[in-house]
Chains A and B, each alone.
Chain A
Amino acid sequence: MLALQILIDGFAISALYALGATGFTLIFGVSGVLNLSHGAIMVAAAVAAWAAASVLHLDIYTGALFGVGVALIVSFATYFAVVKPIQNSRRIPNEEKEIFVLTGTLLWGIMIQELIAYFFTNNAKTVLPIVEGVVDIFGNRTPRNNIFTALVCCLVIGLLWLLVNRTRTGKAVLAASMNPRGVTLLGLELTQIYIVVWGIYGILAGIAGVLLGMFLGVSSYSVGPLTASAFSIVVLGGLGSVSGSLIAAFVVGYLETITAYMISPAYRTIPALLLLVFVMYIRPQGLLGRR
């Protein structure tokens, strides 16, 4: 009974983690950028969806779309205002660009977080779920929203797979992650590919953020933990490997759910952190990472 409950509850949160981490790893794979404003973008999407519903009085669907749209805009702003200037800067030596991008996006994330706190306070906000009510799965009362969340996550990840593997744009993105110089030699503009990737990332982070807002609720305090969890899932799976992140997301999601149910919710994050340290020692490149 408990096992089934863990299975159902863990699936929704794992799918959500997977969606959040996919965009993060995609950006790293293609442009080598670790975007530490990730959590802030997710929270911005959720708060925008919440504000659309409760301040602007839009209906739930428009609100959710509004949230995703805001995430898309913030994602482009991150690229054009922070990441691109650092990548193109001639005053920053190449080998130090990585740490500058980390510091820059970190500061950018804090700025977004503080703006959200300033305009919408620090209180936790829950976005009204699109589907309501509960269903009974073999005696387990499960909110319909859990199932909806899991379904949307799987659907979006499936669409992403189709986009990357079956369309011309997607193949260009894939090629850029394998060999940027080769792509340039084939006459594709690398900057355009980056813009496409940041767009995909914005939409993914936005959907994940809005779903998270419906599922658990968010506040500006969630920014740090969200970034940290995406970061650890991605490193656990192997930086830049999308399938690795998916596996890692489910490992982390279930590990957290099991701990919360079997031991105590207070220890929720500890086993995942221990696992991460363990994997770093045994296999520093992550589960499916290449070096």
Chain B
Amino acid sequence: MASFFSSRLFFISLVCVVIAATLPFYVSGYILGLLTVAFYFGVFAMAWDLLFGFAGEVNFGPTFLIGTGAYTAGILNNQFGWSVYLCILLGALASVVAGFVLALPALRVRGPYFGLTTLVAVLMLQNFVVVFADLTGGEIGLTIPDVITINAGANYWIALGFMTVSAAILYGLSQSPVGLVLQASGQDPVQAGALGFNIVKHKLAAFIVSAFFSGLSGALLVFYFGTASVGTVVDVAVGVNVIVSAVLGGRRTVLGAALGAIFLIVAGEFLRPTGELATFIVSAVALLVVLFFPGGFLGAALSREARS
């Protein structure tokens, strides 16, 4: 751990966070709003990376966890008018329960089978939202009466702070002995089990941690947007973006996933003048990275540093 604090990665991250924290003083509200969303997305991607990169579970349904957290928080606020912070906390807890439910098949089936189970979970949630439209607002979306704050700068700092704290916890976890056991059980479950580690317990823990951060971030995002809709927090396309972010930034790096998410959101915005081709260009770039730099941005940078 001590070596981490003197490592180059730590200094680079520290400098990035400090520079990012000063942005509200000289950048327009438009860019702040964009980055706020990107930071919440970064947490989604990091939470996904913990599951895939370390536990080796191909989770096609990150939006099942995100959506559960987001909708629980939104519905509680909408129906009962409870305070925003209580709703966010309960949303995160609901997501943990969802993560637990999702983890149960994961401990039975592997690979593509598990991938499909998670995909089905998303489709079920999507159907649930549409069918129980009275409660969830259906396809139009759920209106949320309260917001955390309407100040763009404050929203930005909350998002940045949240992402930094999440990144520190998730990165710390991934470098800890627990993270190493997770990585081992992802790569060779039989051997890891033979060495005496309880794989089931570790994977369950990974799911719960991942679900907690996904749900928390989803709930915060909902209170930033002031609305929850299938298109923003549940749709499979959102999940694809989360996965692409993590793969782009570099699997198994945690911090890279956040970088990938910020890149994806900002690039999508810069390409907006190209109209409908924006998604095409982003996907093409992502495909090229997957084909030619399979380690992702941070993976490539880290391996160069390791070599020199």
Which A positions have Cβ atoms within 8 angstroms of B? 34, 82, 85-86, 89, 91-92, 95-96, 98-100, 102-104, 106-108, 110-111, 114-115, 117-118, 224, 228, 231-232, 235, 239, 266-267, 269-270, 273-274, 276-277, 280-281, 284-285
Contact = CB atoms under 8 A, between A and B. Distances in A.
B123 to A, nearest CB: 6
A281 B105 contact: yes
Given A107-B244, A110-B240, A235-B112, A100 B290 contact: yes
A111 B116 CA distance: 22
Nearest to A236: B116
B127 A82 contact: no
B291 interface: yes
Nearest to A34: B112
B294 A277 contact: no
B187 A86 contact: no
Interface residues of B, number: 38
Contacts of A239: 112-113
A99 B290 CA distance: 11
Contact of A91 (B131, B275, B294): B294
If over half of A's interface residues share one DSSP class (helix, strand or loop), that class is named, otherwise mixed; here it is helix
Given A89-B294, A91-B294, A267-B131, A114 B112 contact: no
Nearest to A285: B113
B11 to A, nearest CB: 28
Contact of B119 (A100, A108, A110, A231): A231
B237 interface: yes
Given A85-B291, A104-B291, A111 B276 contact: no
Contacts of A92: 294
A235 B117 CA distance: 10
A233 B117 CA distance: 13
A102 B115 contact: yes
A110 B124 CA distance: 22
B124 A273 contact: yes
Given A281-B105, A284-B108, A106 B240 contact: yes
A107 B244 CA distance: 8
B237 to A, nearest CB: 7
Nearest to A114: B280
Given A89-B294, A224-B236, A273 B120 contact: yes
A224 B287 contact: no
16 contacts: A98-B111, A102-B115, A107-B284, A107-B287, A108-B287, A111-B283, A111-B284, A114-B276, A118-B276, A118-B277, A228-B119, A267-B131, A269-B127, A276-B116, A281-B105, A284-B108
A277 B291 contact: no
A231 B124 contact: no
A47 B108 CA distance: 40
Given A99-B58, A280-B108, 20 more contacts: A34-B112, A85-B291, A89-B291, A89-B294, A91-B295, A98-B111, A100-B294, A102-B58, A103-B247, A106-B243, A107-B244, A107-B287, A114-B283, A115-B280, A231-B116, A239-B112, A266-B131, A280-B116, A281-B105, A284-B108
Contacts of A95: 187
B287 A277 contact: no
Contacts of B112: 34, 98, 102, 235, 239
A58 B247 CA distance: 43
A162 to B, nearest CB: 29
B109 interface: yes
B170 interface: no
A249 B108 CA distance: 24
A228 B119 CA distance: 8
B113 to A, nearest CB: 6
A103 B290 CA distance: 8
Contacts of B279: 110, 114
Contacts of B187: 95
A86 B291 contact: yes
Going nearest first, the 7 A-B pairs with the smallest beta carbon separation are A114-B280, A284-B109, A107-B287, A110-B283, A92-B294, A107-B283, A111-B283
A14 to B, nearest CB: 20
A220 to B, nearest CB: 10
B4 to A, nearest CB: 25
A98 B111 CA distance: 8
